[in-house]
Chains A and B, each alone.
Chain A
């Protein structure tokens, strides 16, 4: 150890009393402490900020936003929701630029009406706006296709004839009317007028949901929010995944994770039991242990490559397909020889195997020797000791390992891209069609859904809120799994701690 007090004791004696603090100030290392504290806070701020960002954006997705109608200097009239605002640097046209700084505010208006205008969004700079209003009866119509429609209702058509020439007064009951209309689809239609003055006839069948955004009370808004949230969780995606629900992805994630844990836990526990209880300890076992440990650090994409080559192409394409489906194989239409939920589960099982083995081994090692010896002393056999004494005590650790594996598996995307996750799977892996379970089918996955929405979507601006919400859902699934692990471990541990007292 190096001496930490700088001045020599001899000189200290000659110094006036009360001056020792000067060295203490230097030795305190305040600067370094502040720097490391700053690093710690930065790390905390990063995670808190990120979670907040996802939470705020993800939860706000379904909240109905009031509609704005603006008239620009160019004579355009636009009706829509404000998606976001930003400061930008407009093209150099001195007459329109606000102030000397050369920047202006602009809003991104979601104007919908894609089949009429050819785009879903419009930028509106604040300096171009001539007038701005919030039309009371402006209607948001979510449709099966073509995205949203924004317009002001003009008339209800029944058998092609207007039954209410000025629909504004009737609109209070519009939701009920629409529900009723759906039963008589062909006879009824809704005539809407866009901000630009164009007219558009909408059949009730293509309307998913419609509401006058500027007339909604708080309770109404909550209703729309709940309805959209339920649709998100329970329905299939529409509009190239940018609208509708994520039920197939949620189902695919859960199903794949379930199959994966059914595969990984027994084998992981078996391997750990063998390594800890049956194998003769020595350099070989240590080497295997280190190798297994290190396998947890091998990138997941490598497992994906292996899964594609081994499970899909080799096992599926060369061992299963030619024998079970010779006709389809001859047509180069593989059944098991391509990505599917079974192969994805197997790949992820292999990926998470080290997690389970390591956790189980640690749990087995943590069982006190005295308990085993006591069991043997009572005449129990090795298997009886393991089954009755060791395994129950190790259970919290094993379950922790399992849930950690599940949490890791649920959040992995990279290997799934190779072994079976697709952007849109029309059929679920489990359905009413014989044989009811289809392990060869490709599936949708929440994580892959996020990737796909964020980067492959044509209408990426409209998909953005959905990405946030899907992200939030994915994080929730992972967090819930992690919390469950912690909770189960705590519960089991308490039980066995009491037992050992």
Chain B
């Protein structure tokens, strides 16, 4: 540092003295700038680091376990009758307990104060009860054979300060008081809320004898009821409410169907009766685990569809059968404490179901036995979480989608009589041993586990475990499917197809530019290709979706043909060029040759356009066009025409490879021996003939292979080619080329150009041709640079958003079909992120997707950087 110590003065030879002390302002500026730059610099770098940290912080709660905090148990006293149902209100303040004698007890959750007792179900009490798994609907059946549909409703009302009854006047914030069958509470905001529970019942519907079992669901056309009555009749009844337009009086119209059933030997009575959400299925379960499913789609003629054994263990009896939200999944609990989840699966081939209605009940989940019998089941009203109570008083919390046990709460020994999950999933309430137990609950994100994210999961209604991404739907009862693998697959598919197109073009173009072009021409070509990189990707996406995708679809055959005619035209051009006398060839190696290449390209396009339809007619003549041959992507039934054409096109490159290897191994050594004495012209002619022969041989080998594959019965459709969609991987691969080619090209060209000139000159001086120099000296020296160029291009392709978003259908499918779309991580983020509610599971899973993307690209780029550094060190050594 050139800052001198203070107070020194030097005598200079001129005789003038000047202060050698650094001015204070300079020193201050020095200190200030150092501090400022250090803070600013470190702060900026920290800001970048914050990004990574923030992504991780948002994702982390996904892995947290559910938290359950025990609350105090409130004694209920001696209950006059066993409980049949327990419900909790939205605010988790009240618990309503229905007893078998028709009493409804309402108690405060905190402290267990009795709020109200009533007998809303009338006298004599109901003999059968049914409560909807989600929502407040209920149905009760009576001894006289009548059924009443109704609701168990929690009412919450804000009382204005002026209308406050005297008894509630002195209520302090946070304090609660029982007032006229309601619980009054002054909230933190100062308003007094009155909460009460009430039962509303509609007019009775007469359905025969004493009702033993009952279930009810409301459908768009009315209520569907299932009853089993004491006279031994199993009924499915449909109740429609009709309103008389004149009198405005509502009447109930009932249509019913009787279902035959047989009582299994040795079984006392059925355990449960359930109807599906839309009323199209009815389930009757017996104590031994036998479940009979009836198909009610044709209401007049119900069919017994199948019989399933819910409890394979012969020693255990079925104790509880409960439906989850949406009533698609049935949860069966048995006397051994084992629980299983069942839902209906409708296979694409109905014959495979082996039942009369083409669907079958599948056991998708099993939770192991605990030893104590399942005595109560309760499902959440917002997710596929459910709780089970056991005979030993313990309670367990499960998640159906992930199959995880979230919590296990030890009990007091007395069996759990009733169980409820609060609507907001913030309380778990149980009645056990004559006391009301309430747990505070925070389930976190139980539907997301490593398994549901990365392994195939058997979702409701699916044929088997699959990778599915479907994050939202209009219905509340929807099961979210967060199979990240299908998005990662889409990303990989997009990357692979675009790299297949971009890498050869970019690397060959870089090689040509650096080795075979004049420096001045290079100065125009390089910036032109680099300009491609500065095109906004939204522009590329727009052109891909609106211009290129329809154009490719209407000229599919020609586009496909171009992939074959391009190289052939270029090879043909090269062989014709060889016919030129050497002197001319050397003189014209610059612009004229490039012109020739351009001409060959044009010929390639023209040939593709001409041969495309010809090829289409000859190879895919049966359905007519290539697109029709590919089919509608609905499975093997849609495929028309022979597999030969497809195999031929796919195997042609392989055939070309085989032929060229054969020529190189078999023909070339022999040819080289005899051709030593030939003139250049003769060699060139022979070479041209060899090309023609090779092409013919390739076609022959290709057709032979294709015929063989077809004869064996293989079909390429269903693998890399299948049903055609306008916005597909082919279009994305091509357009992504615009984004990726310039990056790879620039870096590769730099790597090739920076190979020291003395290597090139030495090789040429030793007699190698420019091509030999380029291929055997320059390319091997620059390999790591080329590799790093490809890696950087790969990083760009992985994260590209707009092109993929606009040029594919964005359907998350797991297939390699070149003519189908996909959904990538990046496009998925762009589509779903704005709609995901902050802090929710979906939001955090999307952050995980972003983190995955971040990790993938960071890894690829770091690899590229490491290779590039090695390359730089090596090229310094040369």
Report if A and B associate in a common complex.
Answer: yes
Q: For B27, what are the chain A residues with a Cβ–Cβ distance below 8 Å?
A: 381
Contacts A33-B512, A38-B566, A451-B541; A292 near B801 (Cβ below 8 A):
no
* Contact call A447/B34, Cβ cutoff below 8 A: no
Contacts A47-B528, A301-B830; A413 near B536 (Cβ below 8 A):
yes
Per the bound structure, the CA–CA distance linking A277 and B40 in Å amounts to: 13
* Contact call B768/A4, Cβ cutoff below 8 A: yes
* Contact call B41/A455, Cβ cutoff below 8 A: no
Task: Annotate B789-831 by CB proximity to A: 1 below 8 A, 0 otherwise.
Answer: 0001001101111100110000000000000000000100110
Looking across the interface, which residue of chain A has its beta carbon closest to that of B762?
Answer: A1
For chain B, the bracket of interface size reads 35 or more
Task: Annotate A291-324 by CB proximity to B: 1 below 8 A, 0 otherwise.
Answer: 1111101111111111011100110010000000
Q: For A45, what are the chain B residues with a Cβ–Cβ distance below 8 Å?
A: 601
Q: Output the least CB separation between B55 and chain A (Å).
A: 6
Looking across the interface, which residue of chain B has its beta carbon closest to that of A414?
Answer: B801
Q: Interface segment, A22-30, A64-72, A223-231, A433-441?
A: A22-30
Is B543 an interface position by the 8 A CB rule?
A: yes
* Contact call A295/B545, Cβ cutoff below 8 A: no
Is B500 an interface position by the 8 A CB rule?
A: no
Q: For B737, what are the chain A residues with a Cβ–Cβ distance below 8 Å?
A: 46
* Contact call B37/A278, Cβ cutoff below 8 A: yes
* Contact call B857/A39, Cβ cutoff below 8 A: no
Which of B33, B542, B598 is A467 in contact with, Cβ under 8 Å? B542
Contacts A25-B684, A306-B55; A15 near B677 (Cβ below 8 A):
yes
* Contact call A414/B570, Cβ cutoff below 8 A: no
- Chain B contacts with A in 38-61, Cβ cutoff 8 A: 38, 40-45, 47-48, 50-51, 54-55, 58
Per the bound structure, the CA–CA distance linking A410 and B795 in Å amounts to: 21
Is B472 an interface position by the 8 A CB rule?
A: no
* Contact call B571/A35, Cβ cutoff below 8 A: yes
Q: Output the least CB separation between B872 and chain A (Å).
A: 13
Looking across the interface, which residue of chain A has its beta carbon closest to that of B776?
Answer: A2
Q: Output the least CB separation between A21 and chain B (Å).
A: 4
Contacts A36-B508, A301-B830, A379-B2; A29 near B582 (Cβ below 8 A):
no
Is A417 an interface position by the 8 A CB rule?
A: yes
Q: For B525, what are the chain A residues with a Cβ–Cβ distance below 8 Å?
A: 40, 44
* Contact call A44/B529, Cβ cutoff below 8 A: yes
Per the bound structure, the CA–CA distance linking A380 and B600 in Å amounts to: 64
Output the residue of B26, B504, B525, B574 with the most chain A CB within 10 A.
B574
Per the bound structure, the CA–CA distance linking A380 and B775 in Å amounts to: 53
- Chain A contacts with B in 438-492, Cβ cutoff 8 A: 447-448, 450-451, 454-455, 464, 467, 471, 474-475, 478-479, 482
Per the bound structure, the CA–CA distance linking A303 and B829 in Å amounts to: 11
Which of A16, A41, A43, A48 is B594 in contact with, Cβ under 8 Å? A41
Q: For A272, what are the chain B residues with a Cβ–Cβ distance below 8 Å?
A: 41
Per the bound structure, the CA–CA distance linking A410 and B675 in Å amounts to: 61
* Contact call A25/B683, Cβ cutoff below 8 A: yes
Q: For B541, what are the chain A residues with a Cβ–Cβ distance below 8 Å?
A: 451, 454
Looking across the interface, which residue of chain B has its beta carbon closest to that of A270?
Answer: B40
Per the bound structure, the CA–CA distance linking A479 and B534 in Å amounts to: 8
Q: Interface segment, A5-13, A116-124, A126-134, A148-156?
A: A5-13
Q: Output the least CB separation between B693 and chain A (Å).
A: 15
Per the bound structure, the CA–CA distance linking A353 and B600 in Å amounts to: 45
* Contact call B536/A278, Cβ cutoff below 8 A: no
Q: For B772, what are the chain A residues with a Cβ–Cβ distance below 8 Å?
A: 4, 27, 29
Per the bound structure, the CA–CA distance linking A304 and B51 in Å amounts to: 11
Q: For A266, what are the chain B residues with a Cβ–Cβ distance below 8 Å?
A: 40
Q: For B578, what are the chain A residues with a Cβ–Cβ distance below 8 Å?
A: 25, 28, 30
- Chain B contacts with A in 766-791, Cβ cutoff 8 A: 766-769, 771-772, 775-777
Is A196 an interface position by the 8 A CB rule?
A: no
Per the bound structure, the CA–CA distance linking A383 and B675 in Å amounts to: 74
Q: Output the least CB separation between A195 and chain B (Å).
A: 29
* Contact call A53/B547, Cβ cutoff below 8 A: yes
Is B226 an interface position by the 8 A CB rule?
A: no
Q: For B58, what are the chain A residues with a Cβ–Cβ distance below 8 Å?
A: 309
Per the bound structure, the CA–CA distance linking A304 and B737 in Å amounts to: 24
Is B870 an interface position by the 8 A CB rule?
A: no
Q: For B672, what are the chain A residues with a Cβ–Cβ distance below 8 Å?
A: 6-7, 23, 26
Q: For A412, what are the chain B residues with a Cβ–Cβ distance below 8 Å?
A: 536
Is A59 an interface position by the 8 A CB rule?
A: no
Which of A41, A278, A305, A467 is B846 in contact with, Cβ under 8 Å? A305
Which of A44, A354, A474 is B539 in contact with, Cβ under 8 Å? A474
Q: For A274, what are the chain B residues with a Cβ–Cβ distance below 8 Å?
A: 37-38, 40-42, 44-45
Q: For A178, what are the chain B residues with a Cβ–Cβ distance below 8 Å?
A: none
Q: Output the least CB separation between A337 and chain B (Å).
A: 9
Which of A304, A383, A474 is B829 in contact with, Cβ under 8 Å? A304
Is A326 an interface position by the 8 A CB rule?
A: no
Q: For A317, what are the chain B residues with a Cβ–Cβ distance below 8 Å?
A: 838
Is A31 an interface position by the 8 A CB rule?
A: yes
* Contact call A383/B34, Cβ cutoff below 8 A: yes
* Contact call B850/A454, Cβ cutoff below 8 A: no
Per the bound structure, the CA–CA distance linking A461 and B390 in Å amounts to: 64
Q: For A353, what are the chain B residues with a Cβ–Cβ distance below 8 Å?
A: 44, 47-48
Per the bound structure, the CA–CA distance linking A467 and B41 in Å amounts to: 42
Looking across the interface, which residue of chain A has its beta carbon closest to that of B605?
Answer: A45
Contacts A35-B508, A350-B51; A299 near B777 (Cβ below 8 A):
no
Per the bound structure, the CA–CA distance linking A232 and B58 in Å amounts to: 43
Is B348 an interface position by the 8 A CB rule?
A: no
Per the bound structure, the CA–CA distance linking A271 and B38 in Å amounts to: 8
Per the bound structure, the CA–CA distance linking A198 and B567 in Å amounts to: 59
* Contact call A414/B571, Cβ cutoff below 8 A: no
* Contact call B777/A1, Cβ cutoff below 8 A: yes
Is B22 an interface position by the 8 A CB rule?
A: yes
Looking across the interface, which residue of chain A has its beta carbon closest to that of B589?
Answer: A33
Is A222 an interface position by the 8 A CB rule?
A: no
* Contact call A40/B542, Cβ cutoff below 8 A: no
Which of B44, B600, B850 is A306 in contact with, Cβ under 8 Å? B850
* Contact call A305/B678, Cβ cutoff below 8 A: no
Q: For A387, what are the chain B residues with a Cβ–Cβ distance below 8 Å?
A: 33
Contacts A36-B516, A297-B792, A302-B799; A273 near B37 (Cβ below 8 A):
yes
Q: For A47, what are the chain B residues with a Cβ–Cβ distance below 8 Å?
A: 528-529, 531-532, 535, 738
Is A407 an interface position by the 8 A CB rule?
A: yes
* Contact call B676/A273, Cβ cutoff below 8 A: no
Is A333 an interface position by the 8 A CB rule?
A: no
Per the bound structure, the CA–CA distance linking A479 and B795 in Å amounts to: 24
Q: For A313, what are the chain B residues with a Cβ–Cβ distance below 8 Å?
A: 838
* Contact call A40/B853, Cβ cutoff below 8 A: no
Is B865 an interface position by the 8 A CB rule?
A: yes
Per the bound structure, the CA–CA distance linking A411 and B771 in Å amounts to: 40
Q: Output the least CB separation between B112 and chain A (Å).
A: 33
Per the bound structure, the CA–CA distance linking A29 and B1 in Å amounts to: 60
Looking across the interface, which residue of chain A has its beta carbon closest to that of B668?
Answer: A26
* Contact call A41/B598, Cβ cutoff below 8 A: yes
* Contact call B536/A478, Cβ cutoff below 8 A: yes
Task: Annotate B507-523 by CB proximity to A: 1 below 8 A, 0 otherwise.
Answer: 11101110011000000
Per the bound structure, the CA–CA distance linking A35 and B48 in Å amounts to: 44
Is B184 an interface position by the 8 A CB rule?
A: no
- Chain B contacts with A in 825-851, Cβ cutoff 8 A: 826, 829-830, 833-834, 838, 843, 846-847, 850
New contact pairs (6) apart from A288-B45, A411-B536, CB-CB < 8 Å: A4-B766, A41-B598, A278-B38, A299-B798, A305-B829, A381-B26
CB within 8 Å of B: which residues of A?
1-2, 4-7, 11, 15-16, 19, 21-48, 50, 53-54, 86, 266-268, 270-275, 277-279, 288, 290-295, 297-306, 308-310, 313-314, 317, 350, 353-354, 357, 376-377, 379-384, 386-387, 407, 410-414, 417-418, 447-448, 450-451, 454-455, 464, 467, 471, 474-475, 478-479, 482
Could you list 22 examples of A-B contacts with CB < 8 Å? A1-B763, A25-B680, A26-B672, A31-B571, A32-B771, A34-B597, A36-B512, A38-B600, A42-B601, A46-B741, A48-B528, A267-B47, A271-B44, A274-B41, A278-B34, A294-B861, A299-B857, A302-B829, A309-B55, A381-B2, A418-B834, A447-B536
The 4 closest A-B pairs by CB, nearest first: A274-B41, A299-B799, A29-B771, A411-B536
